C-alpha cells in the first residue's frame, strides 16, 4: 500500500514550473502513472508528493507542420499516438512502437513521454523515436531547452532531468517524415510482455538503427550509407551493445536476435 503523499494539480505550465521550484526534489510527476503508481504501491518509490500534469493543455496534442515537423505533447497517450492518422501516414513506426506497449487498456493511460522518462533500457518508444532523430524539449522556470533524445538517457532509470525540470514535448524533424521504417520486438510470450531485445530501422537518405534491451540505455547507431552491406551494420551494432543475462534472456540470445532482426529489417527496407 502506498504511503501518504501530497497531491498537486497545476493547470498551466507556469503553475507546474512554480510547483517544481517549491517541491520538485520531493515529488514525482504523474502523467499516466502506469509505472509510478505500481512502484509506489510496491514501496519502491516513496515520494512526499505527486504532481498530476494531466490537466495542462500545453502538454497535450499531436501537431504536424511540413517545415517544423511533428510535435507530440508529453501527455499524449500511447493509444492517441497509435490511432493518429498523421502518425500512421508519415511516421508509422511510432504507431508500431506505441501499440506494442502492454494492453489496450493500459495504453489508454500510458504516455509517450512517461515511457521515455521511466528510462528503462527496454522502453518501447525509444528505438522508434531514436531512428527518426527525435528531439525532446525540457522546461523549467529558467526557460526551455531542446536536446537530442539520444542525449536524454544517462543510465538504467536515469535521465538528464533535474528535480525542477519536466518534458514538455517531443519533436520529430520534418525531413524524417515518410521514412521507410519498422520496429521488431522479441518477447518471451505472444501476449503483452517487456522486450527481451528490440530493433528499429529507418531508411531514407541513409540507414538508421536503434536497439533496446541491450545496454544500460536504448542505443542508436551512427547513420549508414544506403550502400552499406548488412554485415557491416550488424558488426557495428554488436560492437556497441553490451547485453546482460537476466530472467528474460541470456546475453548470447540477445546478441543473436539483434543480428537476425537487423538482417530482416534490411531485407524489408533496403533491398
Query: What is the full per-residue pLDDT of the chain (271 aa) written as tens digits?
Result: 568 999 999 999 999 999 999 999 999 999 999 999 999 999 999 999 999 999 999 999 999 999 999 999 999 999 999 999 999 999 999 999 999 998 989 999 999 999 999 999 999 999 999 999 999 999 999 999 999 999 999 999 999 999 999 999 999 999 999 999 999 999 988 777 889 999 999 999 999 999 999 999 999 999 999 999 999 999 999 999 999 999 989 999 999 999 999 999 999 999 8
CATH number at residue 95: 3.30.465.10
1 in any annotated domain: no
Vertex 29 angle, CA 23 and 91, to 5°: 145
Q: pTM for this structure?
A: 0.96
Domain region containing 217: 181-269
| Tally of domains within the chain | 3
Sheet holding 6-8, edge to edge: 6-8, 49-52, 27-30
- Do 176 and 87 touch, CB atoms closer than 8 A? no
Extract the runs of DSSP E, i.e. beta strands, from the chain. 6-8, 27-30, 49-52, 62-65, 69-73, 135-140, 143-148, 153-155, 158-159, 166-172, 180-186, 197-203, 206-212, 219-220, 224-225
Same domain? 160 vs 69? yes
Same domain? 133 vs 40? no
Amino acid at each position: 500500500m502506498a504511503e501518504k503523499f501530497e497531491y498537486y494539480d497545476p493547470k498551466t505550465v507556469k503553475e507546474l514550473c512554480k510547483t517544481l521550484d517549491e517541491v520538485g526534489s520531493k515529488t514525482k510527476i504523474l502523467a499516466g502513472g502506469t509505472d509510478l503508481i505500481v512502484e509506489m504501491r510496491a514501496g519502491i518509490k516513496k515520494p512526499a508528493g505527486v504532481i498530476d500534469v494531466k490537466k495542462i493543455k500545453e502538454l497535450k496534442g499531436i501537431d504536424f507542420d511540413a517545415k517544423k515537423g511533428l510535435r507530440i505533447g508529453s501527455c499524449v497517450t500511447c493509444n492517441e499516438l497509435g490511432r493518429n492518422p498523421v502518425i500512421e501516414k508519415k511516421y508509422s513506426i511510432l504507431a508500431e512502437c506505441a501499440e506494442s506497449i502492454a494492453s489496450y487498456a493500459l495504453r489508454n493511460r500510458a504516455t509517450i513521454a512517461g515511457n521515455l522518462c521511466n528510462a528503462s533500457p527496454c522502453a518501447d518508444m525509444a528505438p522508434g523515436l531514436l531512428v527518426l532523430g527525435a528531439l525532446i524539449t525540457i522546461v523549467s522556470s529558467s526557460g526551455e531547452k531542446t536536446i537530442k533524445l539520444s542525449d536524454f538517457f544517462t543510465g538504467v532509470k536515469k535521465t538528464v532531468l533535474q528535480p525542477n525540470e519536466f518534458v514538455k514535448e517531443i519533436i520529430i524533424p520534418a525531413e524524417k517524415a515518410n521514412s521507410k521504417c519498422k520496429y521488431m520486438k522479441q518477447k518471451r510470450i505472444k501476449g503483452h510482455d517487456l522486450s527481451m531485445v528490440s530493433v528499429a530501422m529507418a531508411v531514407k537518405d541513409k540507414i538508421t538503427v536503434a536497439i533496446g534491451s541491450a545496454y544500460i540505455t536504448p542505443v542508436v547507431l551512427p547513420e549508414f550509407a544506403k550502400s552499406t552491406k548488412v554485415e557491416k551494420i550488424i558488426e557495428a551494432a554488436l560492437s556497441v551493445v553490451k547485453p546482460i543475462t537476466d530472467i528474460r534472456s541470456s546475453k548470447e540470445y540477445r546478441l543473436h536476435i539483434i543480428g537476425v532482426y537487423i538482417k530482416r529489417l534490411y531485407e524489408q527496407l533496403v533491398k
